[in-house]
Amino acid sequence: MADQLDMNGLSLKDSQHAPQGQNGFHAPGERSAYIPPHARSSAGPRAPAPTAASLDGAMPAANGLGQSNWAPPKYVHIPPLGFSTAEIDIHRSAGFAGAGRGSGGWANAQSFTPRGGNNWEGGARGGFDRNAYGNPGAGGGQSARGSGEGQWRDGKHIPGPANQRVERELFGVPNDPSKQQTGINFEKYDDIPVEASGQGVPEPVTTFTNPPLDDHLIANIELSGYKVPTPVQKYSIPIVMGGRDLMACAQTGSGKTGGFLFPILSQAYQTGPSAAAPQQGGFARQRKAYPTSLILAPTRELVSQIYDEARKFAYRSWVRPCVVYGGADIGSQLRQIERGCDLLVATPGRLVDLIERGRISLANIKYLVLDEADRMLDMGFEPQIRRIVEGEDMPPTAGRQTLMFSATFPRDIQMLARDFLKDYIFLSVGRVGSTSENITQKVEYVEDADKRSVLLDILHTHGAGLTLIFVETKRMADSLSDFLINQGFPATSIHGDRTQRERERALDMFRSGRCPILVATAVAARGLDIPNVKHVVNYDLPTDIDDYVHRIGRTGRAGNTGISTAFFNRGNRGVVRDLLELLKEANQEVPAFLESIAREGSGFGGGGRGGRSGGGRGRGATATRDVRSFGGGQRPAYAGSQWGGSSGGGYGGGFGGAPAAGGYSGGGGYGSGYGNPSGPSGPGPNSSWW
DNA sequence: TGTGGGC
């Protein structure tokens, strides 16, 4: 269904869709118009999920390339993905078919493809009716939009009616592999250590129960299949509900999104819309939206993913989530916002645009969330974030709650982040290397000239499952995917120069297994939750080790295992020390050449630390630590979630029980071997993942 | 340097 819709308005550039009957492949000689490399990768619209038969036979033939390298069985392992064409169609059609508004998956396509009667329509929200705040029409039966939305009336939350179709769209059907992550049971993570510092850290919760959580939220959590809060959720729920600011380090895929959505929505369901809400003139047409929650993330796809989650947990509630990002039709986003916007998920650029147009005010923001916060505050994004947070009408730190989440949090970025936080609690969830236990990391020495052939070897060897290949530049993404396609591999690419439609399509093809090889730039490095990524290849290593951490984190998620392979050569010696350290910490095999190049490296590059990581940006210890604890040589309290036995009390520095002690008073410190001594580069650890 | 992100 999605693919079919994608046919609308295709330009020449999209002509890969045209030869539907040929599985979307052109013989090279036949091309009369330029077809971008990635375009040649796609199977035609509505192509069935690849089966051994379809790929084996049709694809190479249509490709007309001889395909000596084509090894069907390996890439056709759709079975491990558990897809059938029918399932895909069900899901997708659910996403597009009828919902009056944004549909699931990457279905936000509607926002840039104004198809007739697009998804934002389907029943005008009669302006704002703040008397019965929320979703007019939902009260007495079916909402006009058919989404089963609730409202806030007379100080009470009145959930909308259930809607089977919407439920299936949001929560999937049983065993829907595209919803796999939902409902992963995190009970096995019970022994994950947690470090919390700051004044008065509250006790963690252990279940999704009322109190403190609102019943309506709990119902939606159950629909989503979550059973027990993940470690980060256990801590973030009471912290956020207690009104505190938060800086949290937790691997994506560990329930981070729920970590902020749960407490925010729960509060919203209990307290209703902000009293200070929209100064609606008495006129029907209010064109400016006043969201109470704002979630910012660095890429469009991530924003879209968060929005999809938000819709689940906001189901039938008075809270209306909206999403805005660039590359998509702004008109439909405006219409969407006009119908009500309580929780807004956005990329920075488009948000600024909408603010400038006077269509969004941040005056009512109660919650500000920066996802992938270290990225949002790095050189590239920081000015925009600062403008949004400090340069518009958002309440100051005292008037809002600010939450930051990331898997990595370099020291310098922590320092910067403090500008946006007030008396925050620092939370680090996870055991050193816990992720990597699920990821087998390999590093191979490969000269640039040999990369392609080594990659082919790898692709032949590790056939089953999805393979995500990272490169450093957009150009390389195109040329490598082009190469792979010419070699007969079902590959596609995603990077920032592709159109939004191409990006979403590539991701969808990858996700669904129809195109199990994806060549990507950094755009896909963070946050994306793609089930069944079996192998991450760092064809080009990033220059920053944190990027490496995020990249390999696309596999081995939520208890699954994964493989990571990095191509290393002397051009990467800038990261050699950090990489070395990382591998050791994660108990991975350390190739000898790494050690020796690291020694070479220490000879030059100046300073104590070889390579680029000057400025104290290198990895130090394994755990991210609260930067506030470095000042006086003090360390944050150490809270072993299940270690100390005493259910949250009695950690060294006053976690839980002894409020004032916090992380400032040099608590018990780390167990031996937990916090490494500071590296030579600087005052100490700064970046990490759990 | 490159990668994201508005028009």
Q: What is the pLDDT of residues A428-462, one digit of tens each?
A: 987 544 455 788 999 999 999 999 999 999 999 87
pTM here is 0.73
Average pLDDT over residues A6-31: 30
Residue A77 has pLDDT above 60, yes or no: no
Residue A333 burial (CB count, 10 A): 26
Confidence band, pLDDT 50/70/90 cuts, at residue A172:
confident
Task: Measure CA to C1' and name the residue nearest B5.
Answer: A349
Whole-number pLDDT of residue A439:
87
Residue A398 has pLDDT above 90, yes or no: yes
> In Å, what is the separation between the CA of A618 and the C1' of B5?
26
Q: Quick one: which of A297, A293, A194 has its CA closest to A250?
A: A194
**Amino acid identity, position A376:** M
Residue A165 has pLDDT above 70, yes or no: yes
Packing angle, helices A592-603 and A576-585, rounded to 10: 140
Establish whether the CB of A574 is closer than 7 Å to any nucleic acid atom in strand B: no
> In Å, what is the separation between the CA of A180 and the C1' of B5?
30
Whole-number pLDDT of residue A625:
81
CB A136 within 8 A of CB A100: no
Residue A158 burial (CB count, 10 A): 18
Whole-number pLDDT of residue A250:
86
Chain B bases closer than 7 A to any CB of the protein: 1-7
Long-range contact set of residues A386-392: C-beta below 8 Å, sequence gap at least 24? A386/A419, A387/A352, A388/A296, A388/A348, A388/A351, A388/A352, A388/A355, A388/A362, A389/A420, A390/A419, A392/A355, A392/A362
Residue A223 has pLDDT above 60, yes or no: yes
Q: Can you give the C-alpha Rg of chain A in angstroms?
A: 25
pLDDT in tens, A533-543: 999 999 999 99
> In Å, what is the separation between the CA of A440 and the C1' of B3?
26
C-alpha to C-alpha distances, A502 to A35, A54, A148, A206, A484, nearest whole angstrom: 13, 23, 32, 42, 18
Task: Measure CA to C1' and name the residue nearest B3.
Answer: A522
Residue A382 has pLDDT above 80, yes or no: yes
> In Å, what is the separation between the CA of A606 and the C1' of B2?
23
Whole-number pLDDT of residue A20:
30
Query: β-strands A246-249, A401-406: how paired?
Result: parallel
Establish whether the CB of A615 is closer than 7 Å to any nucleic acid atom in strand B: no
pLDDT in tens, A386-397: 999 999 999 999
Establish whether the CB of A571 is closer than 7 Å to any nucleic acid atom in strand B: no
| Sheet with strand A156-158: strands edge to edge | A132-134, A151-153, A156-158
Strands (E), A305-360: 321-324, 343-346
CB A516 within 8 A of CB A488: no
pLDDT in tens, A96-116: 222 223 222 222 222 322 222
Q: Quick one: which of A58, A74, A3 has its CA closest to A25?
A: A58
Q: Which residue in this structure is represented by tokens 């390389």?
A: A476
Whole-number pLDDT of residue A281:
52
> In Å, what is the separation between the CA of A373 and the C1' of B5?
15
> In Å, what is the separation between the CA of A519 and the C1' of B3?
14
Establish whether the CB of A350 is closer than 7 Å to any nucleic acid atom in strand B: yes
CA distance A546 to A554: 13
Residue A117 has pLDDT above 60, yes or no: no
Whole-number pLDDT of residue A580:
92
